[in-house]
Amino acid sequence: MTQVYRSNATTNQHQCKIIQQASCANTELAERFGINVKTVAKHKARDCTKDKSSRPKVIHYSLSNIQKEVVRVVRTLTWCPLDDLVDTIKSCFKNANRSNVIKQVLFCKFFNLLSPFTKLCLANIRSRV
From first to last of its 129 residues, what are the pLDDT tens digits of the chain? 566 655 566 677 888 888 888 888 999 999 988 888 998 898 888 888 777 777 877 766 678 889 988 988 888 888 888 889 899 999 999 888 888 888 887 776 555 566 677 767 777 776 776
- Answer for the pair 90, 97: CB distance below 8 angstroms, yes or no: yes
pLDDT of residue 99: 86
Amino acid letter at 22? A
pLDDT of residue 77: 83
Torsion of CA 94, 122, 118, 73, to 10 degrees: 20
Could you tell me which residues come within 8 angstroms of residue 51 by beta carbon, excluding any fewer than 6 positions away?
6, 9
pLDDT of residue 106: 76
* Strands of 1-129, DSSP E: none
Residue 111: phi and psi, rounded to 5, are -120, 5
pLDDT of residue 9: 65
Rounded to whole angstroms, how far apart are CA atoms 94 and 63? 10
pTM of the model: 0.47
